[in-house]
Amino acid sequence: MSYTLTTYLYKMEQFRNKGDKATRTGFGEGVVDIGELNPNVVVLGADITASVGLDGFKRRFPERFFSFGIAEQNITAVAAGLALAGKLPVFSSYGVFAALRAADQLRISICYNNVKVIIGGAHAGISVGPDGATHQALEDIAYLRALPNMTLISPCDANQARAATIAAMQQVNGPVYIRFGREPVPNFTDEDQKLVVGKGQVLMNGDDVAIVATGHEVWESIEAAHILAGQGVNAMVVNIHTIKPLDIPLLVDIAHHTGFVVTVEEHQVNGGLGGAVAEVLGKYCPTPMEIVGMPDCFGESGTPAELLQKYGLNSQSIASKVLETLSRNKKGIL
């Protein structure tokens, strides 16, 4: 079987030895990197500069940092204007605000004009924890992937968030939204990786089922695959860091190979990665599949670990869901 990208075979010990790091930190490091590479990069702050990882750019390039306060709609419109004037604007806020509070400005000012703006959607998913339902971005993918001209990236760890930010500058000529979290997570991908926008990654080979995940859930899926191996199930793990545009050839290839796909995301089950994969497979390769995500409800306050367990998004829950749906599939009732 041929994959779009090189197949990566990792071992748990190799993953764990790299330690934990927040994806927001990787995004912030990437913004400093592109600031070094391109003098037209400017950053717009939304009064939470350190919280979204942009304090490093502010210290390194104070003359290219502009604070707007808590005014996400205004920042979005100004970013569009700066892009039309030849700058490369970057701004970030919590995903619920960057994607949803500024929905109109994203659609008309940025996407309709197809201007090059890099947007950081911070504190995404349920694992933001104690901030609770109002600050847990769980509907942003559904909205953003429907916007024409928008590129949507959801990196799996801090190293990949940094690489994604550089790739956004170098590879995309329109708006890019990079979705990332707050809490430290295993930082397991290569530090010097070259992320290719629109190309997924097979992290673990398998024949029985393909677990297709994005963001922080990639790590949980890797751990789930090791749990499944102990149950005699050989699971493939695929990292879809680019949700739009999707790697259609890879998705069709893995569906042909395994005959069963499970998607996993920190997002509502409606309209997210699972919906996008279902659209592709329904058109090109009808395949039994299961969507693991938030079950059409709002989150709540709690520790990240507690919330992932409650809403079925930790490794044990993913493994259990795979076993359950595999059993139903074998009985012909999926």
**pLDDT bucket at 131, cuts 50 / 70 / 90:** confident
**Residue 328 is encoded by which pair of tokens?**
């139903």
**Residue 302 is encoded by which pair of tokens?**
């709690």
Going from N- to C-terminal start, the domains of the chain cover 12-16+195-330, 20-186
The rounded percent of the chain whose pLDDT value lies above 90 is 89
Same fold for the pair 12-16+195-330 and 20-186: yes
**Strand boundaries in 16-84, DSSP class E:** 20-22, 41-45, 65-67
The answer for 332, left when phi > 0, alpha when psi is -120 to 50, beta otherwise, is: left
Name, in order, each residue with C-beta under 8 angstroms of 133's C-beta and a sequence gap of 6 or more. 298, 299, 300, 301
Burial class (CB in 10 A: 0-12, 13-18, 19+), 225: buried
Residue 2, pLDDT score: 36
Whether residue 333 is predicted with pLDDT greater than 60 in this model: the reply is: no
Higher-scoring residue by pLDDT: 330, 65:
65
* Mean pLDDT across the chain: 93
- Report the top-level CATH class of 12-16+195-330: alpha beta
Name, in order, each residue with C-beta under 8 angstroms of 240's C-beta and a sequence gap of 6 or more. 154, 200, 212, 213, 214, 246, 247, 273, 277
State pLDDT tens for residues 54-99. 999 999 999 999 999 899 999 999 999 999 999 999 999 999 999 9
Higher-scoring residue by pLDDT: 180, 11:
180
Which architecture, in CATH terms, is 20-186?
3-Layer(aba) Sandwich (3.40)
Contact status, residue 200 vs residue 251, Cβ threshold 8 Å? yes
Which of 157-161, 180-184, 237-241, 278-282 is least confident? 180-184
**pLDDT bucket at 129, cuts 50 / 70 / 90:** confident
**Residue 305 is encoded by which pair of tokens?**
């670990």
Contact status, residue 317 vs residue 145, Cβ threshold 8 Å? no
pTM of this prediction exceeds 0.85: yes
